Each structure stands twice: as structure tokens, then as C-alpha cells.
Structure 1
């Protein structure tokens, strides 16, 4: 047996408003909490449910950053504290995008907001707020990006009108100084609708098979799994609804079939490590479970999902009507330099 780890209708009410304003004076308070909206809009958004998305936008930088860093690239993948791009021989360099390419990405972001009613997007491979603003142009707050020099960062695009609090980086996910930290945000903090989200971009290269193989990417991913489990277990003990979103770089449909193994510090697989009912209530539901793979475009090289959204039992019980969607790129944009990922969406309704 695996051992436990040691270690907004309410916004419209007076007391919830007081609680929110009190929270705003602590931790990492953000202008996005209450600015530019009425309390009624935030309350109605929460009452209608929550629509989550995750999107890896593949090395999204400003043109100026891409040009400057491309001129001094390094042969190896830069470490987290390096402001650099890789130019590894034999490997495709980070993309250079035209204005038309970025406009096409922006149309996808617009469809997330207007066609799918997405409330928050967990972002991966985005070089912070300035880079994200090229694509998420209006109606979004771009925040909670990890403090990493490397251009591949994780963070969030949060729809205007939703109060939120950034909780700081999950720095422990950078297990070797060259992997990616997690971005952590709380929506509707201090209210009954509170939900906590973790955006992750886990180590690439170990898409399937047991993690104990003699293969460096699997060894790094194996180190990251207990870090996420500790985060999950802490949220369960706190009684806070939560979700994990991002690029897991893992075929979770296959991973979920096998046990985590007896050693919590060195698991064989991901899902059963995180969803082990230990502590009681540590149970995760997966957006892509049982869903047919939908390619991003006719040139999509993936055959199975590696981007996913996982929610806990508390959030699932709050939203019993759940609808999965994938947002492929427009067929008219085939051939443009967009991303090797497109959004995964999970709409959660009461």
C-alpha cells in the first residue's frame, strides 16, 4: 500500500465582498480581482459553471525576442535561468512567425472566448505576458506566469471579470534546473466558488511505458510526479476544489491503466499516483478519457492526447454536466506557422 505523504453569486453578498477585499490585502493580490467589472458579472459567470482550456502555443515570443535570442542560440536546450534559445543540430529550431501567423493564432483565442465561452486558459511555451498579448488581445487578463528566464513559460489567460489570485510558482517541478515550474492560481478566492488551478508542462520524451526505465526523460518525469502529488494532496486536505491543466507529455489514457507502484517517491506511472484516494478524496477525473483524438490540422503528427485537464471529485460533484471539446485550427490556415498543439476544452456545468 502506498503511504500518505508526510509532509459568483457569493460575490454579490456583502460578507463575500468583505472576504474578497480582505484577501486582496494579503499574498499576491492582483488588479484583475475586481477592476473593470461589476460584482454581478463575476457572480453570474460562476453560477453558470466553469469552462477550462489548456493550450501549448509552441515557443510563443515577440518577434523582437525571437530575433535577438535566435542570433545567440545555444547548442543545447537552455537551462531555466538562461535567456536563450536552442539551435541543436538536426532539430527544428523554434518557429519564426509572421504577423499573419499570429493573427491566425489570435482567431483561435477569440474562438475560445466567444464560441466556447472559456473562462481560463492554462498556457504553456509562452514567454510571459507581452508574448501572450499578441494572441489574447481583448477580454483577457494574462498573469501568473512563472519566474523563469527560459522563453518556455507556463501561466494563464483569465477572462475579464473573474476575480483571481496568483499563488506563486510550483518551483519544485523544476527538478534539475532545466525543467519547467508550475503556475498556480485561485479563481473566486475567498468564496464558495473558489477553485485552484495548476498549469504544468511536464518533461517531454517519456510518452508511454513505465517511468523506471533507464532513459533520462523518464527519470526526470518520475521525479516530477511526486511534486504534483504533494500539491494534489495538500489541496485535498484543505478541502479546496482544484484542477490540473497542461501539457503532460504523456499518453494518459495508457498511463491510467497501470498502478503507481508501492513507492510514492518513485512511481511507475502518473495517474494512479495522483488519484489514489490517499488522503481520502484524492480522486481525479480526466477530460480526454474515452474521447476520440481530434487532430489540430491535416499535418498534426500526434495520434493521442498529451494535453489534458484533470479535476478533483469536489469540482466534479459541483459540476455534474461536463462537455469535452477540441478546437482545431481553421483549415484555411493550413501551412501557416501556428503551433504543434491546439486547445483542449472542458466545460463544467452544474
Structure 2
């Protein structure tokens, strides 16, 4: 239940609104169309979990026959587990508010691509990404929580085969795989992930099902990373890691590569040489999505390959991270428990 709006909350909302407005104004130049065209080398990536985004028709149909347990990947169903928050039922006003956020990613920010999580395919995404976007490369599972991409129109891309091995137990999400600017000097490979939830911190070898599931997913991602390094391809991994990677990176990967103790030290181990990742959120304070955001650490992130980071540093690009909070005027609407996280090199 939402809290009653007291004077302190109103001040907080006003401050958030001013911060968001300032961020939008101060950073508008990052994605200025003329400058980006002139340099021909800028890149902007975003990730956004849209919390069970589906069409109203799908919502109504699946809610009428929901099941007590989380559906498997092959099941076209919704959960209605007692005591747990159900998937949000959104109104047109809710979708319009989300669409305004998506439009801000397109203009003036000119984000190249948004990695989407918890979206029931292109039809669902089109309710939010209405103009100026291609909606493609979604995983093929029947379950309404899917990963895929919104690519700004005019940006060349290629969909690669989904990383189906990430579904380690028949009930997990695959990875969506995309190449931007294929066949050019700007080519970059992107992997969109939404990993197992529930094991946000601590070693993965605990007798706790979410940790064990995440531990099984870790070598699948590592194999994808290692292959990209061997191919000599710049890449990034975006999405909802369901993990506090800022804590993770200070812990040990352990001796067993097939069952690592922590994610980031396993992936960023310089084996093969060059398998080094950089967190976009490193050193950044947590920015809340709205006045009701009670998190203090990111679980969404963008992991940049050493080659991708060096590419932009070598041309003396300005590397920036920001978050796009929701408009305080939309407080109380059914939006999402995540908001867009954006990394740019200009």
C-alpha cells in the first residue's frame, strides 16, 4: 500500500522532479542528433525491466486461469501465489505514462538500443515503445516474461540465436543476443539477461534454490563472454542480474569454474586474455526510480567488455551513466519496479 503523502514526502517528490528535470536538461547534449551524426562513433545503451508488461487482453485471459506456482517456460500462464504480489493490471493511463518514458529515451536522448525484460513480446512492447523503435530479437518462450530489444529506427542490427542454455531448469529466461552496426567499425555484440531471482548477495554454493540456480547460469554467461573475446568482438551484457554486483566483485570466484561462488569475479577473470568486464554502475550512487523506491543498490547493470570501453576511451569519448526516473506526477500509477538505466559514450 502506498504511503500517505505528508509534507516531507511532497518535498522529496519535488526534489526528485527537479533532479530528473536537471538530468534531462544537463544531459540532452549527450544524444544531440547533429553531434552524434558528425562524430559517427557515439553509442548509447539502456536496460529496462517493465514488470510483467503484456497487453490488457493477455492480462485478462491469463489472470482468469492463473496457477499457484510460477509457470514453466513452455507454459502460457500467470502465477497467483497466495501472499505474493500479482502481476500489475495496467490501465491506458499507466501505459501512456510508460510510453512517455520510452519517448524520452528516443528524443532527446537518442538511445541506440534498450534491453527489455519481463515483456511479453513485440505486441506488448509496442504499447510503450510506440514510435521510432524496432521491437525485435525476443526469446521464444511461451511464458509472458521474456527478454528482447527495442532498437531505435535507423540503427542497423542483426538478431543472433537466443542463449537458450540460460534456461537451466526449464523455468528460467533465455538470453537475447543482438549485434548493433554489424560489419562496421562500430560493431558491438549485446547479450540481454534476466537472471534467477532471490540470491542477491553471498556465495552461490549455499543450500538455497535461487543461489544454486544462479550458480548454474553463471558458466553459461561465462562461455558466451569467452567466445566473444576469442572472436575479438566488442560486447556488453545488459539486464536484470538480480544480484548486487558491487558486492560480488570483491568476493572470490572460487576454484571451480563450472560452479563459481560469485558472478562477476568468475566472468571478469582475464581468461582468456581480455575477458575483463567493467560495471557501468561502478562508483555511482544509487538513483531511485520514484519516491517509493526503497532499494539502495542496483541489480540492473550494463557490463562493458574491456575492448568496448577502450574503443571509446581511445577516441576520448565522455562515458556517462544515468537513470531516468519516473515523472513524480505519475506517482501511484502501475508503472514498473525498475526504471531505465542508461550508459553513453559521446
Aligned-CA RMSD value: 1.4
Mapped contact 2:41–2:186 kept (Cα < 8 A): no
CA distance in 1 between counterparts of 2:144 and 2:322 reads 28
CA distance in 1 between counterparts of 2:160 and 2:104 reads 28
- Deviation at 1:301? 2.8
In the alignment, structure 1 residue 128 sits paired with structure 2 residue 148? no
Structure 2 equivalent of residue 17 of structure 1:
none
Structure 2 stretches lacking a partner, 5+ long: 1-33
Cα deviation 1:203-262 (Å, max 9, x = unaligned): 000000010111000000000000000000000000000000000000010001112111
Q: Give the TM-score taking structure 1 as reference length.
A: 0.86
Mapped contact 1:164–1:187 kept (Cα < 8 A): yes
Structure 1 equivalent of residue 146 of structure 2:
153
For residue 217 of structure 2, give the secondary structure of its aligned residue in structure 1: helix
Mapped contact 1:120–1:157 kept (Cα < 8 A): yes
Q: Which of 323, 327, 336 does residue 324 from structure 2 map onto?
A: 327
- Deviation at 1:115? 3.1
CA distance in 1 between counterparts of 2:311 and 2:110 reads 19
For residue 220 of structure 1, give the secondary structure of its aligned residue in structure 2: helix
Q: Which of 333, 338, 343 does residue 341 from structure 1 map onto?
A: 338
CA distance in 2 between counterparts of 1:45 and 1:336 reads 40
- Deviation at 1:44? 3.4
CA distance in 2 between counterparts of 1:303 and 1:94 reads 23
Structure 1 stretches lacking a partner, 5+ long: 1-40
In the alignment, structure 1 residue 316 sits paired with structure 2 residue 309? yes
- Deviation at 1:45? 8.2
CA distance in 2 between counterparts of 1:176 and 1:46 reads 45
For residue 47 of structure 2, give the secondary structure of its aligned residue in structure 1: strand
How many residues align? The count is: 309
In the alignment, structure 1 residue 269 sits paired with structure 2 residue 266? no
Structure 2 equivalent of residue 28 of structure 1:
none
- Deviation at 1:168? 1.5
For residue 274 of structure 2, give the secondary structure of its aligned residue in structure 1: coil
Structural mapping, 1:167-316, within 5 Å: 167-316=160-309
- Deviation at 1:303? 1.7
Mapped contact 1:174–1:180 kept (Cα < 8 A): yes
For residue 149 of structure 2, give the secondary structure of its aligned residue in structure 1: strand
Runs of 4+ with deviation above 2 angstroms: 43-46
Q: Structure 1 84/106 Cα, relative in aligned 2: closer, same or farther at 3 Å?
A: same
